[in-house]
Amino acid sequence: MARRVGVIGTGGTISCIGQDPYDTIEYADRGSVMDVTELIAQLPAPTAGIEAVAVPFRAIKSNAMTPGVWLDLRRTIKKTLADDAELSGIVLTHGTASLEETAYFLHLTLGVTQPVVLVGAQRPSTAYGSDAQTNYLAALKTAASGEARGQGTLVVLNDQINSAREVTKTSNMRLETFRSPEFGVLGHADADGVVSFYRSPTRRHTTTSAFASLQALDTATTLPRVDVVLSYVGADGQMIDAAVANGAEGIVIVGFPPALNTPEQDVAIDRAVAAGVVVVQSSRGEGRIAKRTSFPERGMVTGDNLSPQAARCLLSLSLLVTHDVAGVQELFDTH
């Protein structure tokens, strides 16, 4: 009996039709986009024993992704899995620009054991040398795999399986763009049909996440505003003050490694904290942010080893639960 996998299409390079087989650049502005039914028909037939089932959604450029679309996707995925108990998992096609952020949101909020696999491509399926076909097949195999169950939301490109918490896009044009810099891949989806996992996520996610059964997510149309501010030579505090003035409930500061900001920014951070804004210290570098005594003393949260964009996602969700700094820190320490 074939294993059934739901396929949701949101557009992106994997769904684009270029102007000709040499178009690997201009398609984003001048090409057209296939819907999920056309995508399934155009890409190669799934590996034997897997049936791809189209799940209607809507196409959206990944640079135009919004928290509102995230919430709609979450509801669509939950309903699809609830309505069809025979589905082994879900494949979600997505543009690569914001793929990692959508993946982490779903990793934190989907209270399901079935694997949800995000997949994209660096070259449209109509181009010579496209990675769309192989990525799509690898994603289907992963979503149908029993080993993927309970691993949370996954990102599959270039035959590599990455955890949504750690993966990031590292290259504008290379095919091996999605990587987990500190810890590496979870496993591989190989050409012989074997899906192999060599490690598993240990932080709270999906069914164990603090956000999985959060009722506010079932009816929300957006998430609390969280802005991101970069540290650089000569940066003052104006961007932080502007974020507060424009209604940010949280701010992620992307400091110099190992999590240092300019003196002017630090003064503005203290103003933001005094105004009730939750401030998370992140870094332009890789690795965990050390919990220096000054951070809790100033009322700041440390962002663990999350990328700034992942920290922004977690902070936005955390603000639905609490604005207490200690409570937010606990969520960053466990998710």
Mean pLDDT, consecutive 10-residue segments, the chain of 335 residues?
A: 90 88 85 84 78 93 95 97 96 96 98 97 90 94 95 97 97 94 95 93 97 94 98 98 98 97 98 98 96 96 98 98 98 98
pLDDT at 48: 72
Question: Which among 13, 96, 142, 206 is annotated as catalytic?
Answer: 13
- Rounded to whole angstroms, what are the CA distances from 7 to 21, 80, 99, 163, 213? 25, 10, 16, 19, 24
pLDDT at 30: 74
Q: Is 13 a catalytic residue?
A: yes
Q: Max alpha carbon distance in the chain (Å)? A: 64
pLDDT at 33: 86
pLDDT at 41: 86
74 — phi, psi (to 5°)? -60, -45
Dihedral sign (CA 127, 131, 134, 135): negative
pTM more than 0.85: yes
Walk me through the domains of the chain, giving residue ranges and CATH numbers.
3-207 (3.40.50.1170), 225-334 (3.40.50.40)
DSSP character for 46?
P
